[in-house]
Amino acid sequence: MAYRQVLDEAAPQWQKDRRERGAQAGTLPAGSDGPARFELALPERPALLGRRAWIALAVLVAAVGVGVPLCALVLPAGHPLHLSAYGMTLVGKLMCYAIAALALDLVWGYCGILSLGHGLFFALGGYAMGMYLMRSIGRDGHYQSDLPDFMVFLDWKELPWFWHGTEHFAYALLLVILVPAAVAWVFGFFAFRSRVKGVYLSIITQAMTFAAMLLFFRNETGFGGNNGFTDFKRILGFGITQPETRTVLFLTTFAALVLSFLAARAVVTSKLGRVATGIRDAESRLMFLGYSPLGYKLFIWTLSAVLCGIAGALYVPQVGIINPSEMSPVNSIEMAIWVAVGGRGTLFGPIVGAFAVNGAKSVFTTHFAEYWLFFLGAIFVLVPLFLPRGIVGLLRRGRAGDAA
């Protein structure tokens, strides 16, 4: 409120007039992705979360925080409410995907940049964590060497320089954040500076992850080639397949998801987030107003890459493998469809979408595997046609319809 008052007092009379006129009659040009109506006066800045949302979140956190350890560790295996290792890994995996989808939505839904290369950041985070996990195998590997097995297999005598220090968990965590951030920043700097945008940018991001995949497929690159990393034994000294470790990983992932959601929400509702939305809807207008989009885009883009890297880092210890196929362009495109299905431009949507699409994938691949690609293809075609605002948009419209 205060924000708007300051603006009102500072603005010259003609601006106030225009703002009022615009509020009465303004519409965005047809075909733009933005909302159908807009007000020239800045709408009020929403709170981080509404009161009901805070309560719902608190209840959810409490339920998961108590319920999951209870169901997984305390209840015996035969109990109907027992959470099996399979179920926990599955949901943990879905939550990682949800974080990645959230990250992608930040750039696509709020900044208008459709990245088809977020699988790269996901995999980079995963590889950084994987390096730590490989090192913590110690001498328990197949060749009983200090070096990871694949290096012994390739007849390497010592660790390459970029593996130094990866035996420390804290350093690995640092890498999880810094590596995707650095790659994203450099790529984004060059791409955004030369104002590459739209479909152009999408394809170039895809080329980026494709090139990285080719690079990681080579044995000489030093990340295990085709096979990547697997056969992890322990994390921080705890056996990686122990139910307790799994539960902790699950809860960590859940916490990461909640925190990512709050962080994304904070960014989106901030002033920076609004400028980003402006870039999405009409970049050239924003530039005429004196904004340089580069910094805004770069910040959101890098933040998104970091979130994606964190998702990848949580994914690897739960799934137990990371290899270059995570970087294949198809994986990154699938991420985009999670966001589209859930509803882009909302923060809740991508989480719903990731769960819905990947849930469907689990069902399909176990029951009718050969139709999965048909189903996936059909979602890609039908969702933009008939469900442009995704599941969340559908629910909202339903609620609006009820109210009217």
Partner 1 sequence: MRIPALRWLVCGLLCWHAGAAALTAEDLQALAGDDYASKEQALGALATDPDPRAAALLQALSDGDAAVDAAGRIIIGSGAASADTLAGMPVSEGEAAAAEPIMLNNRLRSLVERGIAARRLFDQDLAQRRAAAEALLANPDARFRPLVERARMTEADPDIKSRLDALWAMSALNDPDPEVQLAAIDLVVARRQPELRDLLRPLAEPSGGHETDARVRAAARAGIASLDRWQWWGDLAATLFSGLSLGSVLLLAALGLAITYGLIGVINMAHGEFLMLGAYATYVVQQAVQRYAPGWFDWYPLLSVPAAFAVAALAGLLIERLVLRHLYGRPLETLLTTFGLSLLMIQAVRMIFGAQNVQVANPGWMTGGIAILPGLILPYNRLIILAFSLAVVALAWAVLNRTRLGLFVRAVTQNRDMAACVGVKTRKVDSYAFGFGAGVAGLGGCALAQIGNVGPDLGQGYIIDSFMAVVLGGVGQLAGTVVGALGLGMASKLIEPFWGAVLAKIAVLVLIVLFIQKRPQGIFALKGRSAEA
Q: Which of 104, 137, 340, 357 binds partner 1 (CB under 8 A)?
A: 340
Number of helices and strands in the chain (H, E):
15, 4
Q: Which of 8, 17, 20, 33 binds partner 1 (CB under 8 A)?
A: 33
Calpha distance 267→48 (Å, rounded): 9
Please, which residue, 87 or 377, has the CB nearer to partner 1?
A: 377
Q: How far is CA 248 from CA 85, 238, 264, 379, in A?
A: 12, 11, 24, 34
- 54 is a contact residue toward partner 1 (CB under 8 A): no
Candidate segments 8-16, 24-32, 165-173, 227-235, binder of partner 1 by CB under 8 A: 24-32
- 288 is a contact residue toward partner 1 (CB under 8 A): no
Per-residue x/- marks for partner 1, 96-135, CB under 8 A?
Answer: ------------x-----x-x-------------------
- 35 is a contact residue toward partner 1 (CB under 8 A): no
Angle of the 293-319 helix axis to the 271-288 helix axis, nearest 10: 140
Q: Min. distance of Cβ 43 from partner 1 in angstroms? A: 24
Sign of the four-CA dihedral 148, 153, 155, 160: negative
Calpha distance 392→199 (Å, rounded): 25
Q: Residue 195: helix, strand or coil by DSSP?
A: coil
Q: Min. distance of Cβ 189 from partner 1 in angstroms? A: 10
By CB under 8 A, how many residues form the interface with partner 1?
45
Q: What is the DSSP string of 67-94?
A: HHHIIIIIS-TTSTT---HHHHHHHHHH
- 267 is a contact residue toward partner 1 (CB under 8 A): no
| Contact partners, residue 233, CB within 8 Å, separation at least 6 | 136, 137, 138, 140, 239, 240
Residues 159-198 that bind partner 1 (CB under 8 A): 190-191, 193-196, 198
Residues 210-239 that bind partner 1 (CB under 8 A): 210-211, 214-215, 217-218
- 300 is a contact residue toward partner 1 (CB under 8 A): no
Neighbours of 317 (CB within 10 A): 23
Q: Which residues bind partner 1 (CB under 8 A)?
A: 30-33, 108, 114, 116, 190-191, 193-196, 198-200, 202-204, 206-208, 210-211, 214-215, 217-218, 329, 333, 336-337, 340, 370, 373-374, 376-381, 384-385, 388
